[in-house]
Amino acid sequence: MASLATYNTESKKSVVPLRPCIQSYEWGIRGLDSRVARYALESGVIDEVDPDRPYAELWIGTHSKV
């Protein structure tokens, strides 16, 4: 997970990296059929997609699970 130490408060062009969190609910789409799973895999959030896991939501922001 990226650290806020990369945030430069002295520059107006600072970027705070965001790392999303995957939420699994029974109504989610399983495996690689899920766009959430494919995005998480391609962006490095996960290393592999579990074909039996329902990938329902991708949370990005300040939620406590992110």
What confidence tens digit (pLDDT) does each residue in 10-50 have? 656 777 777 788 999 999 999 999 999 999 999 888 999 99
Are the C-beta atoms of residues 66 and 60 closer than 8 Å to each other? yes
In a domain, 10, yes or no: no
Residue 66's CB is within 10 A of a number of other CB atoms, namely 13
- The one-character DSSP state at 42 is H
Rounded distance between C-alpha atoms, residue 3 and residue 30, angstroms:
31
The domain in which residue 45 lies consists of: 20-66
pLDDT at position 4 over 60 = no
Nearest to 36 by CA among 24, 19, 18, 52: 24
Q: Which residue has the higher pLDDT, 4 or 48?
A: 48
Q: Which residue has the higher pLDDT, 31 or 5?
A: 31
In a domain, 11, yes or no: no
39-59: per-residue pLDDT in tens?
999 988 899 999 999 999 988
* pTM for the whole structure: 0.67
In a domain, 56, yes or no: yes
**What would the two tokens of residue 65 be?**
């699970």
In a domain, 34, yes or no: yes
In a domain, 48, yes or no: yes
In a domain, 4, yes or no: no
